[in-house]
Amino acid sequence: NFKKLKSRIKKNEGFSITPYSDQLGYKTIGFGHLIKGNEKIFFTKKFLNNLFENDFNNALMQYSKIFKQKNHSMKEKELLIEMIYQLGPRGVLGFKKLIYHIDKGDKYMACLEMMQSLWYKQTPERVKNLIKNYLK
């Protein structure tokens, strides 16, 4: 059901079989998986794909938990799920105005909130692509 979204997240995250530091200096691997302190990572494509599936399912679960009372369109769901995947649930909850505008159906104000964020400054191409997809 979320095949296109998964593909887009993978493209946006990029892939690395070896650990690297993300824009904020956090150790990351695979498709943007944040390596936790004592986590054991195996450097195989299959393991890292499974890790992506777990991370994606976690983002999906967090979306359902946070927005269970909302009746979002598929575009809104995809946007918020990808944001949760990248920023975590706490990070997304910090976008109070963005969420307000999404809930009110004001796409353009929601996009303006994205463009005026630190998130945009850190990953401008990704946010631009998410905005384009959201407005289609």
116 and 108 in contact (C-beta within 8 Å)?
no
Ramachandran region, residue 97 (left: φ > 0; alpha: ψ -120 to 50; beta: rest): alpha
60 and 81 in contact (C-beta within 8 Å)?
yes
pLDDT of 117 above 90 = yes
**Mean pLDDT within 64-72:** 92
**Mean pLDDT within 123-127:** 95
Q: What is the mean pLDDT of the chain?
A: 94
pLDDT value for 40: 80
pLDDT value for 63: 98
The pLDDT tens digits of the residues spanning 78-98 come to 999 999 999 999 999 999 999
pLDDT value for 42: 78
The pLDDT tens digits of the residues spanning 36-46 come to 888 888 778 89
pLDDT value for 1: 79
